[in-house]
A and B are shown apart, each in its own frame.
Chain A
C-alpha cells in the first residue's frame, strides 16, 4: 500500500513539475524535461521494469494532456527507462557526473527518436529548433538536482531499491 502511494504521488508530483515547467519556462530555452530525468532515475536505481513502467504511465499522461500523438511519449519514455535500467550495472548512478552525462546522452537519443516518430506519424518536415537543441544541456545540468530530490523523497517513504 505504501509503495503504491509512493509511486502514485511520485507520478503526480513529477507531472506537476513538468506542466509548471512548460507553462512558465516553455519558450525560454531553459525548459527541462523533468519526466525524462525521473524515468532515467527509476531505470538507474530500480531497474528496467520500474523505469519502463513509470515511463509508460508518464508518457500516457503527457500525451493526453498535450493533445499530442497518443503513444509517442509512452514509447520514448519507456525506451529511456529500459535503456537506463539495462545500463545500471555499468554506471554508477550515485555520481553527479554520471547523472549529468547519462541524462545528456539519453536526451539526445530521445530528441532524435522524437523527430523520427514525428516525421513518420505526422509526416511533416519541421525546421530545426534551437530550443530543442538546448534541451539536452539543460536536462544534463538539472538531472543531479532531480536525482537528489527523488533520492530524498524515497528516503522519506523509506522505499529503497531492492537488489535481488
Chain B
C-alpha cells in the first residue's frame, strides 16, 4: 500500500471516528458527561465573550429603577408653562399612572430580582431564534426565567431562558417559530391571544375572534397566563390584520417592542424559586 492510499484510508477512518463521536454527542446531549465537556469548553471560549462584553460595556447596565421614575416628581414640578387646568389633569393622570404601576409591581413581586446580562453570542443561522447571555446558574438564572430589554426607557419582552449553564445561558427569542406567548391586546379589543414567532423580525398574534375590535396601532402585552411571563410586559404593536389560512380566526401581524437586532443588554427576571 503506497503512502497516498494509506493517508486516504487513515483520513476515512478518522472521519468515521469523528462522525461516531459527533453522533454520540448529539444523541446524549442531556447526559452529565456532555454537559461537563460543554462547561469546560465554554470556560475556554469565555475570554472572547468577556472581551466583547467589555468592548460594548456602558457605564451602568440598564436597570428597572431607571425606568420607574416617580410620577409624583413629574406632578410636583412648578416650571410648567401650561395652565393650571392642564396641571390638574396631569396630576390626575400621574396619580393614576402611579397606582397602575403599583398594581403592576404587585404582579411582579413573584419575580424576586432581576439580573442584567450582556448578549455575548449569537449564531447567524439562528439569529431570530436564540441568543447567548453572559450570566448563568451561578448568577441565579434558571430555565424559563423571562427575559426583557429596555429600549427608549420602555420595557419589551425578549424571550425566556431555555438553558442555563454555570456561566452562560441560552434564551429562546419570541421571534422563534417555536415560541408562543400568551398575550392581551390593549385598547378597545382587550382580547387574549397567542403571540408566535416566524423566524423573522415580525410576530403574529393568533386566535383572535373574527369579530374582534382590534385595530392597527393597538399595543399587545403579556397576559400573565401560563405563569411564565409576568403580566403587562409590552410585546409589540399591531401593524396588520388578516384572517388565518382556515378563515376561523383573526390574526394580527405585530411589530415587536424590542427588535431582535437591538439586543445588547437584557434583564433576566429571576423567579423567586431560584433565589
Contact = CB atoms under 8 A, between A and B. Distances in A.
A101 interface: no
Interface string A75-86: 100110010011
B78 interface: no
B89 interface: no
A75 B21 CA distance: 9
Contacts of B125: 114, 129, 131-132, 135
A159 interface: no
Q: How large is the interface on A (under 10, 10 to 19, 20 to 34, 35 or more residues)?
A: 35 or more
Interface in B128-180: 128-130, 132, 163, 165, 168-170, 177-178
B231 interface: no
Nearest to B136: A67
A126 B177 contact: yes
A78 B34 contact: no
A27 B8 contact: no
B14 interface: yes
Given A19-B49, A22-B122, A64-B38, A71 B127 contact: no
A69 B168 CA distance: 15
Contacts of B126: 66, 68
> Which interface residue of B10, B122, B163, B168 has the most chain A CB atoms within 10 A?
B122
Nearest to B3: A164
Nearest to A127: B199
> Which interface residue of B12, B121, B129, B168 has the most chain A CB atoms within 10 A?
B121
A126 B129 contact: yes
Nearest to A65: B45
Interface string A43-54: 000011100110
Contact of A69 (B3, B21, B29, B122): B29
B22 A71 contact: yes
B10 A71 contact: no
Nearest to A50: B11
A133 B129 CA distance: 16
Given A31-B124, A74-B18, A121 B26 contact: yes
Contacts of B34: 70
Given A70-B25, A78-B18, A129 B123 contact: no
B173 to A, nearest CB: 11
Given A27-B260, A67-B168, A127 B198 contact: yes
Interface in B225-240: none
A15 interface: yes
B23 interface: yes
B128 to A, nearest CB: 7
- Pairs of residues from A and B, 3 with the lowest C-beta to C-beta distance, nearest first: A71-B25, A64-B41, A48-B11
18 contacts: A15-B45, A22-B121, A27-B122, A48-B12, A49-B7, A52-B14, A52-B15, A64-B44, A65-B41, A70-B37, A71-B22, A71-B23, A78-B19, A85-B11, A121-B26, A126-B129, A129-B125, A131-B125
Interface of A: 15-16, 19-20, 22-23, 25-27, 31, 47-49, 52-53, 56, 59-61, 63-72, 74-75, 78-79, 82, 85-86, 114, 117, 121, 124-127, 129, 131-132, 135, 164
